[in-house]
Amino acid sequence: MEEGMTEDLLSYYKRAMKLTGADVDTYSPLVLAYIGDAVYEVMVRTKVVDKGNVQVSKLHKSSSHLVCAQAQAHMSHLLKEQLRPQELAVFKRGRNAKSATSAKNASITDYRLATGFEALVGWLFLTEQFERLIELVSLGLEQLEGD
């Protein structure tokens, strides 16, 4: 997509949704993880759906193993060396955040690493670093599928 086209679409989106442009750096890491979870889920579902028209149960099975805490924790290990200093700081804030809930089917370590990963995804999305977001998630998914 061309740069001007992306900016036009983004401007339209912000106007249509009546977004105020809050300061993302003031958000708690759990808020960043909240939006990051949704963004990552959409990215994974888009990738799974792109493989063809199949039963929804098969789509769910294909995507659920990529969005679980264990997979996100593993991805955070795979990507850690690729993170820039500010990205690493956001990841660590998310990883170290104290949540009132915990994962049903994951260790606390995996859950915290996954929260860090989701916080990073949310921060990249909200700061409109879409190319970097896509680069990291694509690389992480490739490495996960290669393991």
pLDDT tens-digit series, residues 1-30: 455 556 688 888 888 989 887 888 899 999
Say what the pLDDT of residue 19 is: 85
**CA–CA gap between residue 101 and residue 69 (Å, rounded):** 13
Q: Quick check: is 37 catalytic?
A: yes
Taking residue 129's Cβ as centre, other Cβ atoms within 10 Å add up to 14
| pLDDT at res. 59 | 86
- The helix-helix angle for 130-146 and 108-126 (nearest 10°) equals 150
Cα–Cα distance, 65 to 142 (Å, whole number):
14
The pLDDT of residue 1 is 46
* Low-confidence spans in the chain with pLDDT less than 70: 1-7, 147
Burial 74-102 (b: 16+ CB within 10 A, else e): bbbebbeeebeeebbebbebbbebeeeee
- Catalytic residue among 8, 37, 110, 147, which? 37
Measure Cα distances from 36 to 6, 52, 77, 137, 147 in Å.
Answer: 20, 25, 17, 11, 24
